[in-house]
Amino acid sequence: MSLSDTMTRWRYRAVPDHLVGEILTKRWVDNAIPMLILLAVLAVFGSLIPDFFGSASVTNLARQWGEFGLIVIALMIVMVAGGIDLSVGSTFALGNIVALALISVAEWSVPAVVATTVMCGAAVGLVNGLLVGYLRLRAFLTTLVTLIIVRAIVDMLLLKYSVSIAAAFPDSDLWYFFGEGFLLGAPFSVVVIVTIAVIIHLVLSRSRAGWHILAVGGSRRSAHNVGIPVRRVICSTYVVSGILASLAGVLFASRLGGAGADTGIGLEIAALTAAVLGGNSLGGGRGSAAKAVIGSITVMIIVNSLVRLGVTSGANSLLLGIVLLAAVAIDVRWLKNRHKVLSKVYVSPTYADLPPAPPTSGASPYALNDRLRPVELIGLGRIDGPEDVILDDDDNIYVGDRTGDIVRFFAPDYKRQEVFAHTGGRPLGMAFAKDGSLLVCIGGMGLYRVTMDRRIERLTDETNRSWLSIIDDSRLRLADDLDIALDGRVFFSEATIRYEMHDWPVDCLESRGNGRIVCFDPNTGSTRTVLKNLVFPNGICMTHDGQSFLFAETWGCRISRYWFDGPKKGTVEPVISDLPGYPDNINRASDGTYWVALVGMRTPSVDLAMKMPGFRKRMARRIAPDEWLYPNINTGCVIRFDENGRIIETLWDFGGENHPMITSMREHKGHLYIGGIFNNRIGKLKLDGMDESWTGQTSYWGRT
């Protein structure tokens, strides 16, 4: 191995490229960026302002944040449903003046004041909601106008009551507690906003009403088509927004107790900035209470710190304007390009150095021949993609096909066929259990059982999630082949956890250990992953000792043996590490050896590409998938080998005239039955010198 190869290998071993793509698939990445911005803002202003983290400073900031945060949450709810509410600033001012007027001038009790003020806010929200929701006006302009109108009303109230408000001192401890009190060690307004944020979060993420809101924001037309009352949902978001904004006004009133002409002016811009900065999308469908909270804290700190730094008022709006522009720009570009970026970075090939491929000519055990030429064809043109073939005690053939059926061909001449069961997924590897039921790995679904009376039962479709995996690897994406141990435990391979079934060539492009072998124990009903980081594990076959199984790693071109019991329990040993092609299913042969199908043969170009991850990455990013360099899967062969890895014989159909494309083979009563995932036939080959009474069932379960 040359020095550059070594360096490439270490480079790809040390840097986990694939994590970037996986992180981008997660929903929480939307929150991660605003969170980083928040931390940056904290770091900058924390170092600029002395005593920034002092308790007095933090308490003061937190109390103001309580009010501002409520407004941002109010705006967020409307934005999530695809609208916008610019009147929050005015509603806040209205809440402030109404609360003050009621408590100071009218001298109402505190609960009545809060209730009435909130009703006022709800009324403003209702007007917005009726106009935007039911009359379908443009949200932006409509709420701008209500902003102006409500502001004018506030100004009228101010003219009338500001003097008497300034003169009065409300006689209520509860009122002052709202503004200055602590609950559980936190300022009251913080308790309020945390409670409301939690409630809003639960509603949005867990309740029907919240899902309706998100659905309307995500796609108004689709929401309407599935029967969601779109207009009512939109209207209700504005009402909630009005309620929360006026509640913030109450808190503000109780804290400062004064009504100024500039209360709440420009607040809508700050709130909008906060909401967008937190990652809530303009136009709806994406937003959460957490995003609103993060954004509001960030903007709160920026605005407050600028005041404390003594910067003139212009700088404040300058900075807010820039932040708003940047946040909206990022939001727009991010939403537009996220899937493009993802599709570019998700595929991340790694360095895979395969041992030199043995020759297939001359004295090599893999030498080409025509021994598959005389196969008898079953169901030619009547079956689409039999990945695996299996025969029951009555010699009937079972195969899965591309349309999700398990098809049965009836013995003895196999002219008749019927749909044995319809699975709905892609039936791949099969095995008969001791009780005669058929266990199937179904791509895209998991491990299933078809009983003798054709009932389909799910055995498992998930395994334990690995702690350090970024993508959720608990669901089974591509269960591939299985075999059953004597005690009934089912070991099955999952070829890849990063791709869906139809993307299997892309997994080859990566050639990373994305696959695993999973064990389902019917006695306890549990499913556990037993082996991880395998390179497209495919065929699995129990050895004759009952303590281990052989498994093939397709893109790794090797067959290994894993002991799940006995003295060597838990160890993996290589059996054949330099196959000339890509191994698929493995099955027992009658003389104690094993059959393996090579789905395709290695080519020098692909082998070379495997050592050049950068090349494959560029290929995946820059050219269309149709033009990619794929492994050859058109020509293959069947190999018989023993437990020591010695190749006993190789069966070829040179030129692929009678049976190209092989993924599996099954020996049964002196014949070999051959299937191929892209084939339209089942091959039947008379074997010379093999036990004519041997069947898989007798070999596994001792039945006759």
Q: Which residues of this protein are in contact with another protein, per CB under 8 A?
A: 82-84, 131, 135-142, 144-146, 148-149, 151-153, 155-156, 159, 219-221, 265-266, 269, 272, 281-284, 311-322, 324-325, 328-329, 332-333, 336
**What SS3 class is residue 611?**
coil
* Residue nearer to another protein on the CB measure, 48 or 315: 315
Q: What angle is formed at CA 215 by the lines to CA 65 and CA 27, rounded to 5 degrees?
A: 60
Shortest approach of another protein to residue 247 CB, angstroms?
24
Whole-angstrom Cα distance, residue 553 to residue 556?
A: 5
Shortest approach of another protein to residue 16 CB, angstroms?
33
Shortest approach of another protein to residue 568 CB, angstroms?
60
Shortest approach of another protein to residue 129 CB, angstroms?
14
Whole-angstrom Cα distance, residue 555 to residue 584?
A: 10
**What SS3 class is residue 520?**
strand
Shortest approach of another protein to residue 301 CB, angstroms?
18
Whole-angstrom Cα distance, residue 356 to residue 579?
A: 9
* Residue nearer to another protein on the CB measure, 27 or 221: 221
* Residue nearer to another protein on the CB measure, 48 or 452: 48
* Distance, CA of 369 to chain centre: 47
**CB count in 10 Å sphere of residue 130:** 16
Closest CA to 541 of 600, 596, 494: 596
Shortest approach of another protein to residue 143 CB, angstroms?
10
* Residue nearer to another protein on the CB measure, 197 or 270: 270
Element (H, E) at 196: helix 188-206
* Residue nearer to another protein on the CB measure, 139 or 196: 139
* Residue nearer to another protein on the CB measure, 276 or 540: 276
DSSP sequence for 361-401: STT-TT----TTTTPEEESTTT-S----EEE-TT--EEEE-
**What SS3 class is residue 32?**
helix
For 318-352, b/e burial (b = at least 16 CB within 10 A) is ebbeebbeebbebbeebeeeeeeebeebbbbbbbb
Q: Are 432 and 447 in contact (CB under 8 A)?
A: no
Shortest approach of another protein to residue 33 CB, angstroms?
18
Shortest approach of another protein to residue 396 CB, angstroms?
54
Question: In the beta sheet, which residues pair with residue 608?
Answer: none
**What SS3 class is residue 526?**
strand
* Residue nearer to another protein on the CB measure, 43 or 325: 325
* Residue nearer to another protein on the CB measure, 237 or 699: 237
Helices (H) and strands (E) counted in the chain, each on its own, are 19, 26
Shortest approach of another protein to residue 160 CB, angstroms?
11
Shortest approach of another protein to residue 172 CB, angstroms?
30
* Residue nearer to another protein on the CB measure, 284 or 676: 284
Give the CA distances from residue 686 to residues 372, 394, 666, in Å, rounded to whole numbers and listed in that order. 10, 18, 12
* Residue nearer to another protein on the CB measure, 286 or 498: 286
Mapping DSSP onto H, E and C, the string for 456-486 reads: EEEEECECCCCCCCCCCCCECCCEEEEEECC
